[in-house]
Structure 1
Amino acid sequence: MKLIKVHGSQNSFFILDETQLSAPLGDDLLKTFTQKITSPNNPLGGADGVLVITEATTSKAIAKMRVINSDGSEASMCGNGLRTVARYLSEKFSQDSFAVETMNANLRVRREKNLAKGIYTFAVEISPVSFNKASLPFDNLGHERIIDTFLPEIYPGLKFTSIAVPNPHLISFISQEQIESDILKDVGSYLNSPNPYYPDGVNVNFAQILDKNQLFVRTFERGVGFTNACGTGMSATSLAFCLTHPEWAKFETPINVYNPGGMVKVIVHHDSTYWMELIGNATFTKIINLPEKSLYDFNFSHAQVINTNEQQDYENFVASLPTFNNLRAK
């Protein structure tokens, strides 16, 4: 069978197509498999999670994607991961535009013009959007919705916005000095441990406004910790940017979102509801062939690994970004 090591904005995953297998792994085995294969100590190197492809349960989607974090928990969506799954399915079924089933919605994806030489690029829908307390969920903060609101219980002096897309996010626009400090680590660690405010944890995003329609975003991701990028986080932050800083951000206009792993574009739409398009790389770094038995005994020593040349193209792209090197978070 074949695994593929992939990344979107250096948010790295293994793609596991369960339709290749004689039988699905089952949730318990899949959790343990993910914890083992994402460990940096295994021969294939670490990752942020596993993207599992299964048969769709609806005729409106070409396949279903599940997202298993490195700690074994399951996320409802992953924007960076969805781009790589979109590329895999596009090549598998020879289609450039289709829908992928996720935990909460069927999401539209399509092949896009490459961001740069050798950078396979896909646009994916990020939705549904909710601000409701029950959707995130949060409690004990004195608000039904949190939009550009001071929350001294979480951190004094900072305004926050909280949005589910459907992954839960907490967003604050701060200075470069603050984004390079330990504030994000402290807030992210606290809210993803037992706490009275976000009982299920939350993805915490700190953003610096660079210019009109330009952001830098750093994320502490629930179930993972610091990641090079978070697709739903950059999408939720772009929506918060449009809502809370209309003099700097516009709906229906591409927003360049820089991150420690590179750059994506986000278009925030507002018709009958809010939804976003996340546009960025879908890079395959390794093609891994191994016996199916290896999935059950977690032995990856017999894997045959083919390295692609795509990572070098991606690094060239990152090096070409005009503001990137000045914004790399500590």
Structure 2
Amino acid sequence: MKYAFTKMHGLGNDFVVFDAFSQPLELTPEQFRHIGDRNFGIGCDQILLVEPPTLPDTDFNYRIFNADGDEVEQCGNGARCFARYVHDKGLTDKREIRVGTKAGVITLLMEADDMIRVNMGVPVLEPGQIPFVADQAAAEYQVEVQGETLTLGVVSMGNPHAVMVVDNLEHAPLEQIGSALQQHPRFPQRVNVGFMQILSADAIALRVFERGVGETLACGTGACAAVVSGRLRGLLNKTVKVSLPGGSLMIEWPDEQAPVLMYGPAASVFEGSIEL
């Protein structure tokens, strides 16, 4: 059967988006892996499904599948693409959209300058809810990895993130450390690993090694988690420019009780159909 799709990206973090709102759509993990394959399928970091709402007072439901076929809880760059998609397809004319995800409800706002603001909710810092194995919440944790002790910030933005501060981002051991932490027993649901270089109190550079994907050109939840971790360590101000390989996001986090706000672009690349 043929399925129509739209290829999109947020700062180079690329997605295949399917309309499961107008008609039901059920795909298998094998089909998701085929779609995500850059040689034999369409190719993407993640597949997004736009579905009818399942939670009260929401406009849509949003599901996210990694290129390896696993369903995940949240994706910030994907959320911006989601907002662009439902507007471009005429599925809503609202400027502010409430969307249900596996991690809870998020709010998407189409700004006047064509940027998209995402209210990512209040970050989760309690280890058991991230999930992360630790006795109590802290700004930093010591984790043994491959014979060395790493200092990490650990945050959930609806999905788990570990954040390392590095002096030189270009030479950071992304794949080596990222792969080891994803298999670490202290992260029972694996983890996205961010490598953060502090440029100033208002700016960071970031690379992210994502679960089920590897390094991506951008990671919205990773940018949020990095700013939260940097703020908890006393390194960053309330509003921070996050420079990723694919471009920049603006992240705001006033305090521990406040939601994290993310501002950035989203773009459609092309449309097509695929036989599955």
Tell whether the 8 Å contact from 1:201 to 1:222 is kept in structure 2 after alignment.
yes
Give the distance between the partners of 2:81 and 2:127, measured in 1 at CA. 31
- The one-character-per-residue Cα deviations of 1:66-88 (angstroms, maximum 9, x if unpaired) are 00000011110000000000111
The root-mean-square deviation of aligned C-alpha atoms, in Å, is 2.0
- The one-character-per-residue Cα deviations of 1:28-63 (angstroms, maximum 9, x if unpaired) are x3422211111011363x100100011101341110
Say if 2:111 is the partner of 1:112: yes
Kindly tell me: are residues 281 and 75 of structure 1, through their superposed partners in 2, closer, same or farther at Cα, counting changes over 3 Å? same
Say if 2:80 is the partner of 1:83: yes
**Aligned equivalent of 1:260:** 245
Give the distance between the partners of 2:98 and 2:21, measured in 1 at CA. 18
Amino acid at match of 1:127: G
**Alignment of structure 1 residues 165-184 onto 2, 5 Å:** 165-176=157-168, 179-181=169-171, 183-184=173-174
Q: Secondary structure at the match of 2:254?
A: strand
- The one-character-per-residue Cα deviations of 1:257-293 (angstroms, maximum 9, x if unpaired) are 000111111111337x2321111111100122x37xx
Q: Secondary structure at the match of 1:180?
A: helix
**Aligned equivalent of 1:230:** 219
Give the distance between the partners of 1:100 and 1:32, measured in 2 at CA. 27
Aligned to 1:277, which of 244, 248, 261? Answer: 261
Aligned to 1:210, which of 199, 209, 221? Answer: 199
Give the distance between the partners of 2:181 and 2:199, measured in 1 at CA. 27
Tell whether the 8 Å contact from 1:170 to 1:203 is kept in structure 2 after alignment.
yes
Give the distance between the partners of 2:206 and 2:99, measured in 1 at CA. 26
**Alignment of structure 1 residues 19-38 onto 2, 5 Å:** 19-21=21-23, 23-25=24-26, 29-38=27-36
Tell whether the 8 Å contact from 1:264 to 1:278 is kept in structure 2 after alignment.
yes
Q: Secondary structure at the match of 2:176?
A: helix
Give the distance between the partners of 1:121 and 1:90, measured in 2 at CA. 13
Give 1 or 2: higher strand fraction.
2
Give the distance between the partners of 2:198 and 2:112, measured in 1 at CA. 26
Give the distance between the partners of 1:59 and 1:166, measured in 2 at CA. 19
Which moves more between the two structures, 227-236 or 145-154? 145-154
TM-score, with structure 1 as normaliser: 0.77
Give the distance between the partners of 1:197 and 1:131, measured in 2 at CA. 15
Q: Secondary structure at the match of 2:25?
A: coil
Identity over aligned residues, as a percent? 26
Aligned to 1:151, which of 127, 143, 150? Answer: 143
Structure 1, unmatched stretches of 5+, are 115-119, 299-330
Give 1 or 2: higher helix fraction.
1
Give the distance between the partners of 2:197 and 2:97, measured in 1 at CA. 34
**Aligned equivalent of 1:129:** 123
Tell whether the 8 Å contact from 1:128 to 1:166 is kept in structure 2 after alignment.
no
Query: Alpha-carbon deviation of 1:154?
Result: 6.5
Tell whether the 8 Å contact from 2:123 to 2:260 is kept in structure 1 after alignment.
no
Q: Secondary structure at the match of 1:101?
A: strand
Give the distance between the partners of 1:43 and 1:51, measured in 2 at CA. 15
Amino acid at match of 2:55: T
Kindly tell me: are residues 155 and 213 of structure 1, through their superposed partners in 2, closer, same or farther at Cα, counting changes over 3 Å? farther
Amino acid at match of 2:10: G
Which moves more between the two structures, 151-160 or 161-170? 151-160
Amino acid at match of 1:214: A
Kindly tell me: are residues 155 and 259 of structure 1, through their superposed partners in 2, closer, same or farther at Cα, counting changes over 3 Å? farther
Aligned to 1:192, which of 182, 185, 193? Answer: 182
Aligned to 1:201, which of 172, 181, 190? Answer: 190
Q: Secondary structure at the match of 1:85?
A: helix
Tell whether the 8 Å contact from 1:8 to 1:282 is kept in structure 2 after alignment.
yes
Q: Secondary structure at the match of 1:285?
A: strand
TM-score, with structure 2 as normaliser: 0.91
Query: Alpha-carbon deviation of 1:148?
Result: 2.4
Query: Alpha-carbon deviation of 1:149?
Result: 3.3
Amino acid at match of 1:104: A
Tell whether the 8 Å contact from 2:6 to 2:269 is kept in structure 1 after alignment.
yes
Larger Rg: 1
Give the distance between the partners of 1:202 and 1:47, measured in 2 at CA. 20
Q: Secondary structure at the match of 1:270?
A: coil
Kindly tell me: are residues 225 and 129 of structure 1, through their superposed partners in 2, closer, same or farther at Cα, counting changes over 3 Å? same
Aligned length: 272
Q: Secondary structure at the match of 2:231?
A: helix
- The one-character-per-residue Cα deviations of 1:285-312 (angstroms, maximum 9, x if unpaired) are 0122x37xx2xxx2xxxxxxxxxxxxxx
Kindly tell me: are residues 134 and 157 of structure 1, through their superposed partners in 2, closer, same or farther at Cα, counting changes over 3 Å? closer
Kindly tell me: are residues 155 and 215 of structure 1, through their superposed partners in 2, closer, same or farther at Cα, counting changes over 3 Å? farther
**Aligned equivalent of 1:98:** 97
Give the distance between the partners of 2:159 and 2:147, measured in 1 at CA. 22
